[in-house]
Structure 1
Amino acid sequence: MARTDLMSRARSGDGEAFRALTEPHRRELQVHCYRMLGSFQDAEDALQDTMLAAWRGLERFDGRASLRTWLYRIATNRCLDVLRSARRRPAKQWDIPGIEPPEPTGLGEIPWLEPYPDALLDGAISVPLGPEARYEQTESISLAFVTALQILPPRQLAVLILRDVLGFHAHEVADMLDTSVESVKSALKRARAGMQRRLPVTTDREPPPAGNSPGEDAIVAKFVSAYESADIDAMVALLTDDVFLSMPPVPLEYRGRDIVARFFAPIFGSGRRYELVPTRANCQPAFGVYRHTPTGIHGSGLFVLALAGDRVCAMTAFEKTVLPKFGLPQSLPGAQ
């Protein structure tokens, strides 16, 4: 069916025609909302609001920009509304009974951070980018990148994503944000400086192995073996000297192999037994973490790893509430 015919039918109230027009952009818009908000749930909500606003406002689409650009305008402004509302998930206290964590080396500022399932990235990060894009799509969905984005002021955050991640022209971004090209350029300059300060310095760090490559599989297998056997020495041997551990919404952060070893030592030494179920998040290896208990093998969280060469340079632990988003069960079959 011709696009003009679909648009005509959608404007006259045909929901199926509207879905046919917007569905090709749905996944990439969800990823856009996720980059802006850092939360999978908030991104889902923002996407729903975007589609509802587009449906209700279709008569105002004048065709000067593409439908895709118009949808990005709506999505970006919906996300800005969320960011300005400050209604984000609060930090949470450490709550593992019987385990006292060591003094942290830092406190996280982004308790609302959530992982993004790779299963939903198909077709979402392979979209054609504009000529202004500066980042690889896999890099711009990594947890380190998304975390750094969340520190930026809302307008700077939006401009950097639209310009440097998606590659829209400055005049397109100015139109989306109802501002001037000069204002966009100024915001982008400040956003780039902010990202430079926040992103880890990786010039001396080996690049990670390719996703799902034999090199990545080998590191993952060693990590799983060490964790499931509670072998602290084997796990520490896999870590870089500057390894970083975070666990949103708990704000505790640890940087350095020795302090991360001290964090895991009482957990491994407590007699707790775990099973790891592989998955992927943010284009990085991840695992559903399941603990053996007297009543069964129950989910306790989700780990996402960042790799450098043949070592683990970062670990992010999330709550068990994210497991269903990855198609993972709350409990595994079998008993202790």
Structure 2
Amino acid sequence: MSTSTDSDLLRRIAAGDEAALRLLYERHAGWLLLRLNRRCGNAELVAGALQDTFVAVWQSAGRWRGEGEVAAWLWGISVRRLVSALRGRPAIDPLGEEIVDAATDLVQSAEDELLLGVEYGDVGRALRSLPPELREIVQATVIDGLTTKEAASLLGIPQGTVKSRLRVAKVRLRERLLPIRDGRI
């Protein structure tokens, strides 16, 4: 079973194979945990997001369309789970002071705010307006911090394609966001 591809594992998970889920976890949990920890300094939130990721995989493996890399799909689930966990956290008050949630003693970081803004703010709307092939490049390189080489490997496309799509995506995002900044929308 260890020679099975990630896509094969997802098909087996969709059929209820717990051993396949365990193997997929063993293959991907380490790097997912590392990347999530780079996005959020709270180990409990990160561990919860990772656990929620594999629960979601168990529940939705049958919806995997076989397009792109499984690792990219897993990362998308993981980062959304982290953002969801951050949603319940307190915000920065109007004076710019960090608000501590007395129940959990968590402080919201600038990176946490950025993740929330990307999902729900003007940037999120602009990102969602991009075609999927451009959006995944921006997510991999800008939001996730991958190099173009890493993004190419993760997405299964040539590095030159990553660079050209990123250039097009930046132009389109700039066109979409500058009118918002200048108050024209």
The TM-score normalised by the length of structure 2 is 0.54
Corresponding residue for 2:98? 109
CA distance in 1, matches of 2:72, 2:9: 18
CA distance in 2, matches of 1:31, 1:5: 25
Asked if the contact 1:50–1:71 (Cα under 8 Å) also holds between the matched residues in 2, the reply is: yes
Letter of the 1:36 counterpart = R
Structure ID, larger Rg: 1
Q: What does 1:295-310 align with in structure 2 at a 5 Å threshold? A: none
Runs of 5+ consecutive residues of structure 2 not aligned to the other structure: 101-105, 128-137, 156-168, 179-185
Partner SS for 1:57: helix
CA distance in 2, matches of 1:25, 1:149: 23
Corresponding residue for 2:4? 2
CA distance in 1, matches of 2:48, 2:68: 25
Shift in CA distance, 81/40, structure 1 to aligned 2, threshold 3 Å? same
CA distance in 1, matches of 2:83, 2:48: 13
Corresponding residue for 1:75? 78
Task: Report Cα offsets for 1:210-267 as digits up to 9, x if no partner.
Answer: xxxxxxxxxxxxxxxxxxxxxxxxxxxxxxxxxxxxxxxxxxxxxxxxxxxxxxxxxx
Deviation at residue 77 of structure 1 after TM alignment: 1.2
Letter of the 1:12 counterpart = A
Q: What does 1:247-286 align with in structure 2 at a 5 Å threshold? A: none
Asked if the contact 2:11–2:61 (Cα under 8 Å) also holds between the matched residues in 1, the reply is: no
Shift in CA distance, 161/38, structure 1 to aligned 2, threshold 3 Å? farther
Deviation at residue 148 of structure 1 after TM alignment: 4.3
Letter of the 1:65 counterpart = G
Corresponding residue for 1:58? 61
CA distance in 1, matches of 2:50, 2:57: 10
CA distance in 2, matches of 1:161, 1:110: 28
> Is 1:149 the counterpart of 2:127 in the alignment?
no
Q: What does 1:135-284 align with in structure 2 at a 5 Å threshold? A: 147-152=109-114, 154-156=116-118, 162-164=140-142, 165-167=145-147, 168=151, 181=169, 185=173
CA distance in 2, matches of 1:161, 1:33: 14
CA-based RMSD of the aligned residues comes to 3.8
Corresponding residue for 1:12? 15
The TM-score normalised by the length of structure 1 is 0.32
CA distance in 2, matches of 1:49, 1:87: 21
Q: Give the number of the structure whose residues are more often strand, by fraction.
A: 1
CA distance in 2, matches of 1:44, 1:110: 22
CA distance in 2, matches of 1:183, 1:54: 34
Shift in CA distance, 184/166, structure 1 to aligned 2, threshold 3 Å? farther
Runs of 5+ consecutive residues of structure 1 not aligned to the other structure: 89-106, 114-145, 173-180, 191-336
CA distance in 2, matches of 1:69, 1:153: 17
Query: Which of 13, 32, 36 does residue 35 from structure 2 map onto?
Result: 32
CA distance in 1, matches of 2:41, 2:14: 33
Shift in CA distance, 162/6, structure 1 to aligned 2, threshold 3 Å? closer
Corresponding residue for 2:159? none
Deviation at residue 65 of structure 1 after TM alignment: 1.5
Partner SS for 1:82: helix
Deviation at residue 60 of structure 1 after TM alignment: 0.5
Shift in CA distance, 64/153, structure 1 to aligned 2, threshold 3 Å? closer
Deviation at residue 27 of structure 1 after TM alignment: 1.7
Corresponding residue for 2:47? 44
